[in-house]
Structure 1
Amino acid sequence: MTAAHIDTPKVEDGAAMWRIARDSVTLDLNSSYSYLLWCRDFAATSAVARRADGEPVGFITGYVRPESPRTLVVWQVAVDRGHRGRGLAGALLEDLAVKVAGSHGVDRIETTITPDNTASERLFTSYAERRGASVSREVLFDAGLFPDGGHEPEVLYRIGPIAA
């Protein structure tokens, strides 16, 4: 893995997270305001990877699903272009899963992935394999549900149970 260390996000990290998401080209870019709110309201279920000077170079955002309190929903994972290919996304996912399992008793993960996002598909299926967990897939949001058109379906990946 890279020399970056994993930490809890702070509100001041929101702008860098927005930039990393924007530059990823594959993620749906949320408003800059939403990343600030995420760092304030969901910091306990998210993580940032920082380089030595403290600047974020990657992040993972998630929340505990209200209707399923043992489930962590991973919203976005992104790594700055210069830090990709070093296992940082996997380290962020591992770190977050362990942290939220300990604080919230989570033993399952959900995320959605578009069919063309092979990097995310590999990230989550390899995580499941390492943890001895099964993976189920089903379309959660069909392409026709998106009002802006041109959006691929979002496939729900359910991973679990996750061995401690």
Structure 2
Amino acid sequence: MLIAFNKPYGVLCQFTDRSRPPRPTLAGFGLPADVYAAGRLDFDSEGLLLLTDDGRLAHRLTDPAHKQPKTYWVQVEGTPDAAQLQQLREGVMLNDGPTRPAQARLLAAPALWQRDPPVRFRKTVPDAWLELTISEGRNRQVRRMTATVGLPTLRLVRVAVGPHRLDGLQPGQWRETASS
């Protein structure tokens, strides 16, 4: 079984949380029993999270050797220029080594759900949206990549993992999907 889930902002990618006070987890969304997250999406990120009850499928979805592309819509602080986009496309040097090249392009502001809490608006600081596709999945990689090129991330929404897409799922909604 493969589940596509739109993980809301501020939800952990696990079913339990031992912190005090406890934070929202996947347990609150009526997901089928015996599934677990195939990969991660940070607490402060939103969007597509795949869950499965199949260990082989989870490995295929998450192992860097399989190079499953992950596509994100990223709201950044600032106005990206051609040089910054090119840096992202060529790969950037992070503290844990260089990233693989990414696909990066400017994106018109997408029609997304309201985030709770909303991204802080500042009249004097412009922002823009990027579509960024990467083929690796280091800790907070997209945020670190955009910061490295001078474009701090304000909002991060994963819209696809390989052939699997959000396709209209609202935050907290899920559906069973074909495991290609």
Bigger Rg, which one: 2
Question: What TM-score comes out, normalization by structure 2 length?
Answer: 0.27
Q: Taking CA–CA contacts closer than 8 Å with sequence separation of 6 or more, which of the two structures ends up with the larger relative contact order?
A: 2
Question: What TM-score comes out, normalization by structure 1 length?
Answer: 0.29
